[in-house]
A and B are shown apart, each in its own frame.
With several copies, the nearest count.
Chain A
C-alpha cells in the first residue's frame, strides 16, 4: 500500500483518506457515499466494521457503530460488501475495527479472507504491537499493512518502536482523545508532526478532528494524508449521501 500512496503523492500536495462505518446508515448508503468519495478524488478509505464497544471512538462514530449493529450488520456482510467495493474502485481500502472482531473470527481466517478480497490494510486502535505478535506475523504473511498509530503522548523511542512494526503509513492522531471533536493545529502540533516525521519514513496520515479545507491546508507540506472521519458521517446524517461529493470536491 505504501507504494500505491507514494505514487499518488507524485501528483498531489496531500492525499485524502475518509472513514465510513459499514452498515450505517445502511450498506446501500455506504455504497453511494463511497462512490461519491472516490469520484471526487478520495485516495484511500477506511471501512469500519462496527463493534459494540468502540472505546476509542467519539460520539458520532460511536452512535454509527451502535446503529449499524442495531440494523443487523454482521462481519460477514462487511466482507461481502468490501469485496464488491474493492472490485469497483481502484483505490486502497482498509478495514478499521477493534481487535475482538478479528480475534473472534479467527485471526488467520480473517487475514486470509481480507487478502482474498484485496484489502490493503488494517487499523486496530486497541491492538498495540506488544499484544499483536501473531497479528503482525499474519499481516506480513498476507501482505496486509498493519497501520499503527502515533499520538502526541508517544515518546520518540515509542514512535521508533511503532514505526518498526507499522506498514503502509502511520496514522498520526492529531491530539489526545477520541474521534470527532475539533483539533488545534498550533505550535505544539507542529513540533509533534516534526517528531513523527523524524521517527519514520512511512507516509504520515493525520486524523482526528479534520473537518475543512483550512484544516487540510495547514497539513500540506507537513503530512502526506489527511483523514476525514466523523465529518462525513455527520454530513450524510444531515444532508444525505449526495452532499458528500461536493463536500470532498471543495476540500482541495
Chain B
C-alpha cells in the first residue's frame, strides 16, 4: 500500500471530508498496532481462547480419492466462533476499537456472517452495535438477524438500491459520517477506503500463516494450488497473503450466479463484464454500466453478491499473481452436495464456490501433489437457502406447518 492507500492503481480512500480526521486516527492507530508485537500477540491470544485458532487443516481423503488427483486439504475457517473467517477480522478490529476508546460499532452485512461476528464482538467488548443489512438479505438470512438481535445489536434493514450488500455499505457510511466521533465502522471485507483493505487482510492473514505450517506438516511440501471464494476478498486474501511468497498458484473463485453470460452474476475479475470504477470509498473493478452506475448482481450466496472486489486482489489479478475463475449457482449446489456426502462437512454457500472451482481442476494434478481449499464458513446457517434450493419437501412441509401454527396464534 502506498501513502495514499493504493495497490498499483487500485484502492485509495475516496471518503467524504467529514471522515478525514477519523481516517487519520485510524491509520495512525493501525500503524502503531502493526509495529507493536504485543498487539499481534494479544490478537492471537484472543483468537485462540475465544475462537478456536489455529483452525484445523483437514485432509479430505474421500474427495481426493473421488477425483483421483491431488490430495485435497481443507482449511477449516468454518470452525471459528460464529462459523466463519469473519471472526478474524472483527476481533482484530475490536482490539483496535478498544485502543481508540470508541464506544459504538457499526457494520454492513450481506450473508449475515459479518453482522453476526460484529454483534458478537460488540457483546464481548461491551460496545453498542448497529448492523446494516440489505432488506433482501434480511429475508434470506433471518436466523442471523435473530441472533444478532439477541446479542444486543440493532439490525436495520436497508431498503434502498438493490437492497443487498452494497446498499448496506452505503447506509453504514451514512451512519458513520453522522456519528463519526464515537463510532467505528467495522468494515467486513478487504474493500472500502484505505486502510481497510490492508487492515482486514492483515487480520485475515492468520489463515495463511497457520496453513503454511500445517500443510508442511501434513504433506511435507508446499501445495500446488490454493482455492478461495471471492466476495469482497477477505478470506481469499487471508489465505493467499502468506503464500504469495511461495511458488503456489492462487485461485480466486467468484460467484457465477446463473452463468457468465446471463448478466445475473457477480464475476468482477474472471469475466470482462467489470470495468474500473470508484465507489464505496475505493477504486477497483466494478460491475457497472457505461455511465458508472452499479449493476444488480446475483449469487445464491449472499456473501458473494457484491459489485466490487478488494483492490489488493485487483492489483494481484492485473499482475497475474492470482488467477480468477467463477462457479455457477448450480455447480455450487453440486459441490456442496458432494462435500457433505463424502466428507461430512457442510461448507457455507460462499465457500462452496471454492470447492466447485477446485473440483474442476484437481483431477488433473498428481496424487503426490496437494491443494488447499479455504472453507471460509459453515453452511448450516444457510439452511433456509440450501433447503430451499434443494426444494426439500419435508423442509417445506415443516415450514408450512410452523407457519400455520404461528398464524393461528396471531389470529386466535
Find out whether A and B make contact in their complex, taking CB atoms under 8 A apart as touching.
yes
User: Which residues of A pack against B, CB within 8 Å?
Assistant: 51-58, 62-63, 66, 69, 74-75, 98-101, 103-105, 125-128, 130-131, 148-155, 158, 162, 173, 176-178
Asked whether any CB of chain A lies closer than 8 Å to the CB of B291, the reply is: yes
CB-CB < 8 A to B277: which residues of A? Answer: 100, 103-104
Q: Are B16 and A55 in contact (CB under 8 A)?
A: yes
A-B contacts at CB below 8 angstroms, number = 117
Q: Are A104 and B14 in contact (CB under 8 A)?
A: no
The stretch of B122-130, B249-257, B278-286, B356-364 in contact with A is B278-286
17 more contacts with CB within 8 A, not counting A100-B278, A127-B14, A158-B21, are A51-B293, A55-B174, A56-B173, A100-B277, A101-B291, A103-B278, A104-B275, A104-B291, A126-B16, A128-B14, A131-B13, A149-B16, A151-B17, A152-B18, A177-B178, A178-B174, A178-B177
Contact of A126 among B160, B275, B281, B294 (CB under 8 A): B281
Q: Are B18 and A151 in contact (CB under 8 A)?
A: yes
Q: Are A177 and B177 in contact (CB under 8 A)?
A: yes
CB-CB < 8 A to B174: which residues of A? Answer: 55-58, 177-178
Q: A62-B160, A103-B277, A126-B14 are in contact. Are A55 and B292 (CB under 8 A)?
A: no
CB-CB < 8 A to B177: which residues of A? Answer: 56, 176-178
CB-CB < 8 A to B19: which residues of A? Answer: 153
Asked whether any CB of chain A lies closer than 8 Å to the CB of B288, the reply is: yes
Q: A58-B174, A126-B278, A131-B4 are in contact. Are A153 and B292 (CB under 8 A)?
A: no
Q: Are B4 and A98 in contact (CB under 8 A)?
A: no
CB-CB < 8 A to A151: which residues of B? Answer: 16-18, 20
CB-CB < 8 A to B166: which residues of A? Answer: 53
Q: Determine the distance from Cα of A52 to Cα of B295 in the docked complex, in whole angstroms.
A: 9
CB-CB < 8 A to A103: which residues of B? Answer: 276-278, 283, 292
Q: Determine the distance from Cα of A1 to Cα of B259 in the docked complex, in whole angstroms.
A: 51
Q: Are B18 and A153 in contact (CB under 8 A)?
A: yes
Q: Are A104 and B20 in contact (CB under 8 A)?
A: no
Interface centre among A62, A74, A103, A104 (most CB of B within 10 A): A104
Asked whether any CB of chain A lies closer than 8 Å to the CB of B22, the reply is: yes
User: Which residues of B pack against A, CB within 8 Å?
Assistant: 4, 12-22, 160-161, 166, 169-170, 173-174, 177-181, 275-281, 283, 286, 288, 290-294
CB-CB < 8 A to A55: which residues of B? Answer: 16, 169-170, 173-174, 280-281
Q: Are A53 and B20 in contact (CB under 8 A)?
A: no
Q: Determine the distance from Cα of A55 to Cα of B16 in the docked complex, in whole angstroms.
A: 9
Contact of A66 among B18, B160, B173, B281 (CB under 8 A): B160
What are 17 A-B contacts with C-beta separation under 8 Å?
A53-B161, A53-B294, A55-B16, A55-B170, A55-B174, A56-B177, A99-B14, A100-B278, A100-B288, A104-B290, A131-B4, A149-B18, A154-B20, A155-B21, A173-B18, A177-B174, A178-B174
**B114 to A: closest C-beta gap in Å:** 18
**A224 to B: closest C-beta gap in Å:** 19
**A148 to B: closest C-beta gap in Å:** 7
**B183 to A: closest C-beta gap in Å:** 10
CB-CB < 8 A to A126: which residues of B? Answer: 14-16, 278, 281
Q: Are A148 and B17 in contact (CB under 8 A)?
A: yes
Interface centre among B4, B174, B180 (most CB of A within 10 A): B174
Q: Determine the distance from Cα of A74 to Cα of B290 in the docked complex, in whole angstroms.
A: 9
Q: Are A101 and B292 in contact (CB under 8 A)?
A: yes
Q: Which residue of A lies closest to B14 (CB)?
A: A126
Q: Determine the distance from Cα of A138 to Cα of B293 in the docked complex, in whole angstroms.
A: 23
CB-CB < 8 A to A155: which residues of B? Answer: 21
Q: A55-B173, A176-B179 are in contact. Are A153 and B20 (CB under 8 A)?
A: yes
Q: Which 10 residue pairs of A and B lie closest in terms of their CB atoms, listed nearest first?
A: A104-B292, A177-B178, A151-B18, A52-B293, A100-B292, A149-B17, A55-B173, A52-B294, A55-B170, A126-B14
CB-CB < 8 A to B291: which residues of A? Answer: 74-75, 101, 104-105
Q: A98-B279, A126-B278 are in contact. Are A162 and B17 (CB under 8 A)?
A: yes
CB-CB < 8 A to B276: which residues of A? Answer: 103
Q: Are B170 and A53 in contact (CB under 8 A)?
A: yes
Q: Determine the distance from Cα of A9 to Cα of B343 in the docked complex, in whole angstroms.
A: 60
Q: Determine the distance from Cα of A101 to Cα of B290 in the docked complex, in whole angstroms.
A: 9
Contact of B16 among A74, A101, A125, A130 (CB under 8 A): A125
Q: Which residue of B lies closest to A75 (CB)?
A: B291
Interface centre among A51, A57, A75, A176 (most CB of B within 10 A): A176
Q: Are A104 and B17 in contact (CB under 8 A)?
A: no
**B268 to A: closest C-beta gap in Å:** 15
Q: A100-B278, A104-B277, A178-B178 are in contact. Are A56 and B292 (CB under 8 A)?
A: no
CB-CB < 8 A to B280: which residues of A? Answer: 53, 55
Q: Which residue of A lies closest to B4 (CB)?
A: A130
